[in-house]
Amino acid sequence: MSVKQSKFLRTIVFLFQLVIKRIQKIVIDAVPEGTILDIGGGGEGIIAQIGRERVTAVDKFQSEIDGAKQKAPEANWILADAQNLDFSDGHFDSATSFFSIMYMSNKVKKEVFKEIYRVISDEGEFWIWDASISKEKGVFLVKIKVILPDQTVVRTGYGVSSKIQTVNSIKEMLEEVGFNVEIIESNKQWYFMKAKK
Ligand SMILES: C[S@@+](CC[C@H](N)C(=O)[O-])C[C@H]1O[C@@H](n2cnc3c(N)ncnc32)[C@H](O)[C@@H]1O
């Protein structure tokens, strides 16, 4: 089998797995008050769709920003790697990340968490919705249906190569950086937590 054929086959398997996966329902009642820095905010732009002009969405890929920008043009869209943010200390009231940290290695996550800690206010919070992953091999997929506060329904799916990213491992990393963490909801496939500075 050629490299092209095997890549095609892997894509078909990925799409098939995504279709048969059970859908996880995520209801978002609110996002933090005030100004929000949203990490990896491209793709569906879920947080920007809710917080609109209060949101500064940072993503390292222009293609991800372009798609999301159409859904929330009022948000402030910035192309940047969240490991190095060009904002002063305490610039934002709070920060969010919606299924973005699952795309980062542990080393990158740590740098991103440090930057978030730096750029949010002393009373700031970091709200995270993400996947609980304990997969040694293959691809991890999660298929979700998100209900926004205005009852808009967004259906999407996220996938990454296998890794270990449990709710407790993320809590520990956040605490190492200085956050106090409250786990709000923890399911088999995803969690929602609030980290306070
Ligand atoms: C699955 S998407 C997130 C979904 C998005 N939050 C939404 O509302 O649909 C993950 C995003 O994280 C971004 N990302 C990953 N690592 C990043 C980093 N170090 N800095 C900024 N963005 C990053 C990716 O470019 C990608 O757009």
> Domain 3-196 adopts which CATH fold?
Rossmann fold (3.40.50)
Q: Identify the CA nearest to 17 among candidates 129, 162, 187.
A: 162
User: Residue 22: what pLDDT?
Assistant: 85
Residue spans of the domains in the chain: they are 3-196
User: Residue 14: what pLDDT?
Assistant: 59
Q: Structure pTM?
A: 0.91
Half-sphere exposure of 169 (CA within 13 A, CB side): 16
Strand partners, 179: none
Ligand 1, residues 44, 50, 100: which to mutate, most atoms within 8 A of Cβ?
100
pLDDT higher than 70, residue 129: yes
> Taking all residues of the chain, what is their mean pLDDT, rounded to a whole number?
93
Question: pLDDT (tens digit, 9 = 90+) per residue, 29-85?
Answer: 999 999 999 999 999 999 999 999 999 999 999 999 999 999 999 999 999 999 999
40 lines ligand 1 (CB under 6 A): yes
Half-sphere exposure of 43 (CA within 13 A, CB side): 18
43 lines ligand 1 (CB under 6 A): yes
Of all atoms in ligand 1, which is nearest to the CA of residue 61?
Answer: 25
